[in-house]
């Protein structure tokens, strides 16, 4: 079963319509891990009240994110310590269209997520350019976060295939990520089990239709940061062993030849 097969029966929604309905720049996110067989049943259950993002006839889109961290892995260690507020800096590239953005995401003290982004040259996606540095310097003080002791640098790349579903009558979006892979600059990588998807609900209050359906199906929210898992597996092994231990077991490590 391919990701596209799961969402065939949903009506399509355009990118502009989705953004008008559920941009959600400030929101509460919940993540779940769900087996593909269970996901198929849930899609059928919610098909009448949800639509799937479609662009030029495509519903499954390839993404690549490049994360930046300091040499001391401050962003990673702040996440391990559950420090709030904390930040992540990354580029997000949409492979099909070539669109690319630099984003700063802040986890606020109240658990909400704040995101600010700028357009970015995809050829520069592994580099902190002046405009990106300016955005970091603008957002962090605004959120009460000390600026990094040194400029962040490329620390991890994640790639995945994503389907986005939006509620017809409420400002709610849910993304489903498939074929997730994390890669370190040295070439080591880890790939998520192909029989599972990572679902992320994005709602104002954290209790949308997909949250309720997933919980009713026995799926509880999980702490799952692609960056934290990838850094724990590939960049700082042994420093974060207890985090998402069962989920890490769904990743298959591939070590580059030295």
CATH of the domain at 183: 2.40.320.10
For 183-202, what is the mean pLDDT?
Answer: 95
d(CA 145, CA 106): 9
Buried b (16+ CB within 10 A) or exposed e, 165-192: bbbeeebbbbbbbbbbbbbbeeebbbbb
pLDDT at 153: 94
The closest of 182, 192, 186 to 159, measured between CA atoms, is 182
Whether residue 171 has pLDDT greater than 80: yes
- Token pair recorded at residue 168: 């017809």
pLDDT at 256: 79
For 20-48, what is the mean pLDDT?
Answer: 89
Q: CA triplet 159, 107, 52: central angle to 5 degrees? A: 50
Instruction: Transcribe 188-242 into DSSP letters.
Output: -EEEE-TTEEEEEEEESSS--HHHHHHHHTT---B---HHHHHIIIIISTTSSTT
For 86-101, what is the mean pLDDT?
Answer: 93
pLDDT at 25: 62
Tens-digit pLDDT profile for residues 73-91: 999 999 999 999 999 999 9
Whether residue 26 has pLDDT greater than 90: no
Whether residue 143 has pLDDT greater than 70: yes
Whether residue 4 has pLDDT greater than 70: yes
State which residues form the domain around 127: 3-254
- Number of folded domains that form the chain: 1
d(CA 15, CA 70): 34
Give the rounded percent of residues in the chain with a pLDDT score beyond 70.
98
Please give the mean pLDDT across all residues of the chain.
93
Give the rounded percent of residues in the chain with a pLDDT score beyond 90.
80
Strand partners of residue 27: 113
The closest of 89, 197, 82, 83 to 134, measured between CA atoms, is 89
Total residue length of the chain? 258
Whether residue 41 has pLDDT greater than 90: yes
Whether residue 107 has pLDDT greater than 80: yes
d(CA 209, CA 50): 9
d(CA 100, CA 62): 12
| 0.85 exceeded by pTM | yes
The closest of 188, 163, 174 to 55, measured between CA atoms, is 163
d(CA 51, CA 49): 7
Whether residue 257 has pLDDT greater than 60: no
Strand partners of residue 33: 198
Strand partners of residue 202: 29, 173
Whether residue 209 has pLDDT greater than 70: yes
pLDDT at 24: 67
């Amino acid at each position: 079963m391919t990701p596209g097969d799961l969402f065939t029966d949903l009506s399509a929604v355009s990118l502009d319509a989705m953004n008008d309905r559920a941009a959600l720049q400030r929101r509460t996110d919940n993540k779940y891990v769900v087996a593909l067989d269970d996901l198929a049943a849930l899609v059928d259950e919610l098909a009448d009240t949800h639509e799937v993002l479609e662009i030029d006839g495509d519903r499954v889109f390839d993404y690549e994110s490049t994360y930046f961290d300091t040499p001391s892995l401050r962003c990673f260690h702040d996440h391990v310590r559950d420090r709030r507020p904390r930040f992540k800096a990354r580029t997000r590239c949409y492979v099909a269209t070539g669109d690319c953005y630099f984003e700063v995401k802040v986890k606020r003290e109240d658990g909400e997520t704040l995101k600010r982004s700028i357009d970015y040259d995809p050829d520069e996606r592994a580099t902190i350019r002046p405009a990106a540095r300016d955005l970091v310097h603008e957002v962090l003080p605004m959120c009460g976060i000390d600026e990094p002791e040194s400029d962040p640098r490329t620390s991890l790349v994640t790639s995945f295939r994503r389907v986005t579903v939006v509620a017809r009558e409420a400002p709610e979006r849910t993304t489903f990520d498939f074929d997730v892979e994390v890669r370190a600059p040295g070439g080591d990588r880890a790939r998520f089990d192909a029989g599972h998807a990572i679902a992320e609900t994005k709602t104002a209050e954290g209790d949308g239709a997909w949250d309720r359906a997933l919980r009713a199906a026995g799926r509880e929210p999980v702490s799952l940061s692609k960056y934290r898992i990838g850094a724990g597996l590939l960049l700082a092994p042994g420093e974060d062993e207890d985090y998402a231990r069962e989920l890490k077991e769904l990743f298959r490590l591939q070590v580059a030849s030295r």
